[in-house]
Amino acid sequence: MGLVLGIMASLIFLLYSIYFIKIIKGEPQDLELEVIRSLADWIIVKRAATKTYLWAMLGGSLLAEALYFYLVLVLIPNPTLRILTGIFIPVEIFHLTRLALSLNWFFTGKYLLSQIFNWRLERFSALLFFTHSFLVLVIMFFFQ
């Protein structure tokens, strides 16, 4: 289980590092615009299957995050990280709920593609995931 957590934390850390750097530099809009453009292009190619794929990706994200947080709480005895994780879990529940509502509104025609993502919330979540995964890796490598 420790290996799974290490792999998950490493992947999260690596994937969010680019966005983290953009956020810290004060220029996340370039990456965010690219995400919207790529999503629009992908929707054009996939058409009707897009809805199924996006809901599946959201569900997969929920399961992956649940597994990650579970493993952290079970395997990392550090009380500070457990408190941080306990604070982070409701933030992510809010984040994924907000994203699910936005997707629903997009698919029912109430939202434009550009309105799906709340970029302030996306940035906050990215900063938390980057920091959290970094702390998990440090604790795993140096204190266990």
User: What per-residue confidence (pLDDT) applies to 89?
Assistant: 97
Between 29-46 and 2-25, two packed helices, what is the crossing angle to 10 degrees? 120
User: What per-residue confidence (pLDDT) applies to 138?
Assistant: 96
| Residue span of the structural domain in which 124 resides | 2-142
d(CA 82, CA 139): 12
14-27 as b/e, with b when 16 or more CB fall inside 10 Å?
A: eebeebbebbeeee
Asked whether the beta carbons of 76 and 143 are under 8 A apart, the reply is no
Question: What is the rounded average pLDDT for all residues in the chain?
Answer: 95
Domain count, the chain: 1
* Residue 121 confidence class, pLDDT cut points 50, 70, 90: very high
Read off the pLDDT of each residue in 34-55 and give the average, rounded to a whole number: 93
- Name the one residue in this structure whose structure tokens are 């990650």: 68
Read off the pLDDT of each residue in 55-67 and give the average, rounded to a whole number: 97
User: What per-residue confidence (pLDDT) applies to 144?
Assistant: 72
d(CA 110, CA 33): 21
- Tell me the pTM: 0.92
Helix (H) and strand (E) counts for the chain?
A: 5, 0
d(CA 68, CA 74): 10
